[in-house]
């Protein structure tokens, strides 16, 4: 039998996603690149689709590129196509700042509908490698979920070569983002240097293996998250946590309980080091002071501390 074409493979992947997740309509984040363009072409044939095109303003011709993607979306059958112009800040470096601005704009424009993203199996493999290199723990190595409301990723089982082939089959000309080949960006070097080297040394199949690893870890992490959610209810005392109850939990569950409690209390962008330092207030108590955790608060700092057998949170002026 002939192997299915690239467009057929994409339709199968997006159709399976649609069957698994209810909804009458969806949005798709369209950059004009091969991944999002191929996704838009298929999505528009399955459900009423609104294309959301983010113009980051980082290149001189960004407005023209966004308008071209808007025209392509309407030609592909999208019911609407909207250009979202954003201002990219500087927090966290250029990649992180652009991502923050992009997701904020998409969230504001989606009007309650899920947003499909063009992340592929290759993106998943890169995410796992980034997590490994940063020592971010199982949560990061578990990669991206196919649906983490409102963000949908129907193409996580599809290679990047398939989206490019699908564009060719459909006669579509994707935009080639120069940032995707700029070695100043860590992810670009992973894509163009590290992964090809791993494929050569290990005899191929590395991207697929990394994606399988992410899926297995994600199942484990979700099971631990469920245990931690139940444990959080049991050890919570008002706004604090009972230290004795926490001390009886397995470390993997206890740290998840602490993480959830910190997030509920206003912490943001928690690091593994911060969570471990708060955990030490339970497991290695020597009368130490509070632990500062990241938060969006201005002119004050958020602290977790141990007092009278409880973990509590408080703020202090900067």
The binding site for ATP consists of 31-36
CA distance 200 to 125: 15
Q: What is the DSSP letter of 180?
A: G
**Beta-carbon count within 10 A of 302 CB:** 21
CB 68: neighbour CB atoms within 10 A? 15
Joined together, the tokens standing for residue 200 give 């050569």
**119 vs 32: CA distance, rounded Å:** 13
**Cβ neighbours of 290 (radius 10 Å):** 20
Q: C-alpha distances in angstroms, 69 versus 29, 37, 102, 154, 242? A: 11, 8, 16, 20, 54
101: Cβ contacts below 8 Å, ≥ 6 apart: 54, 56, 86, 87, 88, 89
Report strand pairing: 310-317 vs 26-29: unpaired
Element (DSSP H or E) covering residue 305: strand 300-307
Contact between residue 285 and residue 249 where contact means Cβ atoms under 8 Å apart? no
What's the rounded Cα separation, in Å, for the pair 144 and 132?
A: 14
Q: Where are the beta strands (DSSP E) in 160-298?
A: 236-237, 240-242, 291-293
To the nearest 5 percent, what fractions of the chain are helix, strand and coil? Answer: 50, 15, 35
Q: Binding site: residue ranges?
A: 31-36
């Amino acid at each position: 039998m002939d192997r299915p074409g690239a467009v057929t493979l994409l339709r199968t992947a997006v159709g399976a996603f649609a069957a698994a997740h209810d909804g009458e309509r969806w949005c798709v984040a369209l950059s004009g690149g091969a991944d999002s363009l191929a996704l838009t072409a298929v999505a528009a044939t399955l459900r009423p689709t609104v294309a959301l095109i983010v113009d980051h303003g980082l290149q001189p011709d960004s407005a023209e590129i966004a308008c071209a993607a808007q025209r392509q979306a309407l030609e592909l059958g999208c019911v609407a196509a909207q250009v979202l112009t954003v201002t990219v800040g500087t927090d966290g470096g250029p990649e992180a700042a652009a991502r923050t601005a992009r997701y904020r704009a998409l969230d504001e424009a989606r009007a309650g509908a899920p947003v499909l993203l063009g992340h592929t199996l290759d993106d998943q493999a890169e995410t796992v490698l980034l997590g490994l290199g940063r020592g971010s723990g199982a949560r990061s190595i578990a990669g991206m979920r196919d649906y983490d409301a409102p963000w949908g990723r129907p193409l996580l089982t599809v290679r990047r070569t398939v989206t490019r082939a699908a564009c060719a089959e459909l006669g579509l000309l994707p935009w080639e983002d120069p940032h995707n080949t700029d070695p100043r960006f860590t992810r670009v070097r992973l894509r163009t240097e590290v992964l090809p080297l791993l494929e050569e040394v290990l005899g191929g199949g590395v991207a697929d293996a990394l994606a399988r690893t992410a899926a297995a870890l994600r199942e484990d992490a979700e099971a631990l998250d469920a245990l931690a959610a139940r444990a959080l209810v049991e050890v919570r005392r008002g706004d604090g946590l009972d230290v004795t109850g926490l001390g009886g939990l397995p470390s993997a569950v206890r740290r998840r309980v602490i993480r959830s409690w910190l997030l509920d209390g206003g912490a943001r962008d928690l690091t593994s080091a911060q969570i471990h330092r708060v955990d030490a207030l339970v497991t290695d108590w020597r009368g130490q002071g509070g632990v500062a955790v990241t938060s969006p608060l201005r002119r004050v700092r958020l602290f977790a501390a141990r007092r009278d057998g409880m973990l509590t949170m408080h703020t202090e002026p900067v």
